[in-house]
């Protein structure tokens, strides 16, 4: 895998639009789909949802926590989701939000960012809150293998601002993380592979993303209240690639595959305005 992630993502977005569909098997959704809240229900839910969604979106984002909740059986289902999504032509962004001291970060790198890993993904989410430099093993492995990272900058939850909005050298911590990512992406075409996570729920103008030259994962769209209008207000026209992420708001349309497909196509159309 040597084609850089930024290039692979740009091409996927050009083909399918910017929507990132989340696979978040909440127990409440399993129950709404008429499934049991156990590993068998998880398997049925995650594979059925992936089968429908991965065919229509550029990026599929399984949320690892909901699989980990079922132990080794859940991880086995996650491995199958990764394979199925890739077969359907979607890039897989595994939402694991890993971040640790450098030596342990190297172990996470082996788990997610190497070709032979059972949980290898095209990109993962990482937390820089042990210091951006602690992410170095993941940054190096991602770059070497054509994979991407999405670094938490300003998360979508209301409490995110408490830490991420604090000032450091005259800018917010979140802005400092965006600037670190931008430095890694400098000069890359069409964009670099170090993305950031910025909630679609934040105030417009809170962050300057114009120099990022990398992708922005924008959760908070849909179930957390942000609308397509908010996406335009928050991200404007000057960002390389904004990926609005929606999980519950799509998944609630299952289990009928036709209804789920109709929902993803409708939302995909709604956010198409963001792709340039
Ligand atoms: O700032 C963040 C970072 C990640 N998330 C994750 O995205 C999905 C959102 O699910 P919805 O059902 O669309 O609300 C979920 O997996 C979160 O862990 C986020 O929401 N905010």
Phi, psi of 63 (to 5 degrees): -95, 110
For residue range 135-157, what is the model confidence (pLDDT) as tens digits? 999 999 999 999 999 999 999 99
pLDDT (mean) for 109-137: 97
Instruction: Walk me through the domains of the chain, giving residue ranges and CATH numbers.
Output: 5-275 (3.20.20.70)
Going by alpha carbons, the residue nearest to atom 16 of ligand 1 is 63
Which atom in ligand 1 lies closest to the alpha carbon of residue 251? 12
pLDDT of 276 above 90: no
Helix, strand or coil for residue 202? coil
The mean of the pLDDT values for the chain is 96
In the structure, what pLDDT confidence band is assigned to residue 249 with cuts at 50, 70 and 90?
very high
Query: Is the pLDDT score of 208 beyond 90?
Result: yes
Indicate whether this complex's ipTM tops 0.85.
yes
CA angle at residue 231 from 22 to 81, to 5 degrees?
10
Query: Given this model, what pLDDT does residue 239 score?
Result: 67
pLDDT of residue 119: 98
Q: State if residue 223 touches ligand 1 by the CB under 6 angstroms criterion.
A: yes
- Section 227-250 average pLDDT: 90
Atom of ligand 1 nearest to the CA of 66: 16
Q: In which band, very low, low, confident or very high, does the pLDDT at 51 lie, cut at 50, 70 and 90?
A: very high
Alpha-carbon distance of 140 to 135, in angstroms, equals 9
64 in ligand 1 pocket by Cβ < 6 Å? no
Q: Assess whether pLDDT exceeds 60 at residue 1.
A: no
pLDDT at residue 274, as a whole number: 76
pLDDT tens by residue, 153-186: 999 999 999 999 999 999 999 999 999 999 999 9
Point out the ligand 1 atom lying closest to the alpha carbon of residue 245: 13
Position 238 confidence tier, pLDDT thresholds 50, 70, 90: low
Token pair recorded at residue 236: 């404007």
Rounded mean pLDDT, 25-34:
98
CB burial class (10 A; 0-12, 13-18, 19+) of residue 190? middle
pLDDT at residue 2 in the model:
84
- 233 catalytic, yes or no? no
pLDDT confidence of residue 236: 84
Pocket of ligand 1 contains residue 192 by CB under 6 Å: no
Testing ligand 1's pocket by substitution, the residue of 59, 127, 156, 264 carrying the most ligand atoms inside 8 A of its CB is: 156
Could you give the 3-state DSSP secondary structure of residue 133?
A: helix
- Count the Cβ atoms, other than its own, within 10 Å of residue 176: 19
Strands 20-23 vs 215-218: parallel, antiparallel or unpaired: unpaired
pLDDT of residue 198: 98
Pairing outcome for strands 194-198 and 148-154: parallel
**Alpha-helix residue ranges (DSSP H) falling in the chain:** 5-16, 27-32, 39-53, 64-68, 71-87, 102-112, 136-145, 161-164, 173-185, 228-235, 248-251, 257-271
Sorting pLDDT into bands at 50, 70 and 90, what band is 48?
very high
Any atom of ligand 1 within 6 Å of the Cβ of 222: yes
């Amino acid at each position: 895998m040597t084609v850089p992630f930024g290039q692979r993502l740009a091409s996927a977005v050009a083909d399918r639009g910017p929507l990132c569909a989340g696979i978040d098997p909440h127990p409440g959704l399993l129950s709404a789909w008429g499934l049991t809240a156990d590993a068998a229900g998880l398997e049925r839910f995650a594979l059925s949802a992936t089968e429908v969604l991965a065919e229509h979106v550029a990026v599929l984002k399984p949320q690892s926590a909901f699989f980990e909740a079922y132990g080794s059986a859940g991880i086995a289902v996650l491995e199958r989701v990764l394979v199925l999504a890739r077969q359907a032509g979607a890039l897989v962004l595994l939402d694991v939000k890993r971040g640790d001291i450098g030596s342990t970060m190297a172990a996470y790198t082996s788990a997610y960012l190497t070709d032979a890993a059972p949980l290898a993904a095209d990109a993962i989410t990482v937390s820089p809150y042990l210091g951006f430099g602690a992410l170095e093993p993941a940054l190096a492995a991602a770059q070497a293998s054509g994979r991407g990272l999405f670094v938490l900058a300003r998360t979508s939850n209301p409490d995110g601002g408490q830490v991420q909005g604090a000032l450091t050298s005259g800018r917010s911590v979140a802005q400092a993380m965006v600037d670190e990512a931008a430095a890694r992406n400098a000069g890359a075409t069409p964009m670099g592979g170090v993305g950031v996570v910025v909630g679609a729920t934040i105030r417009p103008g809170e962050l300057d993303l114009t120099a990022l030259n990398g992708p922005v994962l924008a959760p908070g769209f849909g179930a957390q209240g942000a609308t397509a209008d908010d996406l335009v207000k928050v991200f404007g026209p000057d960002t390389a690639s904004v990926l609005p992420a929606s999980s519950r708001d799509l998944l609630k349309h299952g289990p009928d595959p036709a209804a789920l497909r109709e929902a993803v196509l409708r939302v995909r159309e709604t956010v198409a305005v963001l792709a340039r």
